[in-house]
Chain A
């Protein structure tokens, strides 16, 4: 039993190592010309802009729900005035990075896994190579970079829509102005609440882009293989993202102890 678990752990680590090397190669190749700027922009649009509606709806709903929860707890202490800043802080530090990360690994991870997997099994990746194009730079580097750039932007967007959602939930009960609500929301927000969390989301983007590109780029076995690559992209990038979150939060608290206080 222990042996089998040991073997599983070793296999998982070997896999993670291989994916990690794949991701590092993408970062290294990103620095070497030619830069696929046009393709990068296309991916940014596809991964970033086209995820925005999903992120907005999710942020808005989460904002409403969180606002209602904080009201029910804070009311007991007569601290309703703190609702906006409690909401803003929890969104910026944790909720938006994690929820946006999981949503993007669903939408984008599945998409990249399926797209690259489909290109692999129909020999379109070989066709790129035959046309003297470096398929790794053209397909993988652009997607990994696009995910890393898009993720912090999408997360910020989610925090913002979350605060708007919170405001909408509050207007039903109180007649706070939007202006005042926003002032309160940001009054206690500091550098350490926003910047480390945003850097964390760059890592999330890296994980999503790398895992799904790896699985798609190395897909095999026809339509079934493509399906598997797509599903695995979502599952593995979500799990890795959740695990990485634990480590990253620990690191943030270590390097920015003021965040706890």
Chain B
């Protein structure tokens, strides 16, 4: 191949990668500070989704704490926080029954709102643009750029219009270099550029491995007779085996909508497990189906979330940039809330960057003030207090619940120890050592097959482009994954991207990359870390409405 054409360069003070709650809060705070100080500051946000919110998938019950700090007049500005939580229910499911458990304090939701996080981000995006932030949806940050001294100097957007083999197609457009004095990585859970930056600067040196969960969600329009606006229901137990971490959420939004989802800890050990099928059969439980029967499913999607918490936080700054939000791992697992943490971290980063740019003439170097500010903020205390809860579920559902009760009520998060996290991809046992799971067939009313689900996620990728799921070793899917683990990627991928097909010379792993929901699970769970998720052509991926 010829040497690639040179790229056009554009200069900004700050470039933000990803228009989620973390990135947008950062951009907004930067502009607020600049306005207040009467300083010029250029801020640019790139977003791989076709529009802001297109790739956002969350519960979501949000805690407005960070929002109150960022935009205290959010109500007047028409923020789409329309449904205050009115009641929390916490259920332990068995196959045929349900027992009400006392709601743990972290799951009390007075003062919180049930929202579509995608719509909330659309609104945040408008607030940012009104302040002069430039937002470019449809452009993926595909590459981190470094200066001669090895510091981050921005990102490059991906080429558009490449052929499958990577050569330029007829409509090829070269990507653009966006140079910045500081780059904010706010890619959400398991960001692809964040991953590169963490490796390059060895940011995980003193941290436990990050651990993850996979959240799969559907949006339903249900019978008004059974809709209880403001109600949240969480469940643990059935259908998961008690050694698997996970549970469900069911949130009653406005307009007879219900957001229903299932999260499975990606440290599960049985390779026969399918998070997707667990979710589908969960919906058939009598306690759940009574809400859904007679309703219609509107949308579907999936996204990984960071569960490692405090002990898995990487170093947060490095020369030329910072990590904010879920890509750094700020998520309160017992609360199942990351939005307020994502926003808060973005805001603290903005404050620190703003000071740094004022102090350091060219604005280069490392913004060490960011981590200092975080340590002094409520975010740090909140994350520290709950640090032992998620890891305690290695002792199974009962051990975890018992430990969590003691940790929360007796020790109040001040235990003199910190439980360790282990990398999810090391946790799978050989298929031969685990019991196969027999999942029921979808009924087409409450439960569905994966392809009809992906269909309503409105996912699309330009057909002609290099596969964005890169294998380091093309033989591993058959020789390792199939041989030892019975091809777990064909089950954990919530979009059916990995498909085992019989060829003349034996089975072959086919990658249907055009269906990818950008959940990042394969990048996390592959037993030999053989799969590298990279950004596809900008604008590709799901087009989630109201998720």
Q: Do A and B bind each other?
A: no
Chain B interface residues toward A at CB < 8 A: none
Chain A interface residues toward B at CB < 8 A: none
